[in-house]
């Protein structure tokens, strides 16, 4: 496969992912605003906004550093990946504490808002598995992560529409974010385990030694 065709394929998958998520998200938001009404939808937007702020900090800037390390440290990829994962989990815990202190003692938010926030904030724990997506991207594999992202998003959207049809509470719509990341992290990690097989390299070295 030529460089031009590889670039075209990767860009096509990225565009498909963005378009599908954008279109489905727009349809959901239009239905969600009608279902929740002005007051509950305002709470929904408030929590989503605060979540966006916290999630931007919790990653500790690991992703960009990881991309550079995966590019230049091929022999140490597995160690780099899991060290990055541990670091992101640490950031998740630190900013969970920061968020709780801000919401409870400074912003003085209602208990239900805090609970709903932490439902969606927990999704960051599973979102941290995007380090494996970065690994595949460094291997010029954008198609599989894009498919996994689309599938997980469709599951979350389907759950949200089910919640609307069955007249569920606001918490269910925050749980849809968590559900999306659970599906995403499970699929991306399973695919990583199937593709990243250092045992093959070890077997080759062993056969050379024996010979």
Q: What is the pTM of this model?
A: 0.86
Phi and psi for 149 in degrees, rounded to 5? -65, -45
Would you write out the chain's pLDDT as a tens digit for each of its 211 residues? Answer: 677 787 888 889 889 999 999 999 999 999 999 999 999 999 999 999 999 998 888 877 777 777 677 766 566 777 888 888 898 999 899 999 999 999 999 989 999 999 999 999 999 999 999 989 988 888 888 889 999 999 999 999 999 999 999 999 999 999 999 999 999 999 999 999 888 765 544 443 434 344 4
């Amino acid at each position: 496969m030529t460089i031009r065709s590889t670039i075209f394929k990767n860009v096509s998958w990225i565009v498909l992912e963005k378009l599908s998520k954008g279109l489905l998200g727009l349809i959901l938001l239009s239905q969600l605003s009608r279902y929740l009404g002005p007051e509950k939808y305002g709470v929904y937007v408030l929590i989503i906004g605060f979540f966006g702020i916290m999630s931007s900090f919790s990653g500790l800037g690991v992703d960009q550093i990881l991309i550079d390390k995966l590019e230049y440290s091929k022999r140490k990829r597995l160690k780099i990946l899991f060290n990055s994962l541990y670091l992101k989990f640490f950031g998740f815990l630190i900013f969970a504490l920061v968020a709780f202190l801000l919401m409870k003692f400074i912003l003085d938010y209602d208990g239900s808002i805090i609970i709903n926030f932490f439902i969606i904030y927990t999704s960051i724990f599973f979102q941290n598995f995007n380090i494996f997506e970065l690994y595949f991207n460094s291997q010029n594999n954008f198609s599989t992560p894009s498919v996994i992202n689309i599938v997980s998003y469709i599951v979350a959207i389907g759950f949200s529409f089910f919640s609307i049809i069955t007249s569920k509470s606001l918490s269910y719509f925050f749980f849809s974010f968590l559900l999306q990341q659970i599906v995403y992290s499970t699929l991306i990690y399973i695919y990583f385990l199937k593709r990243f097989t250092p045992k093959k390299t070890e077997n080759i070295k062993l056969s050379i030694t024996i010979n």
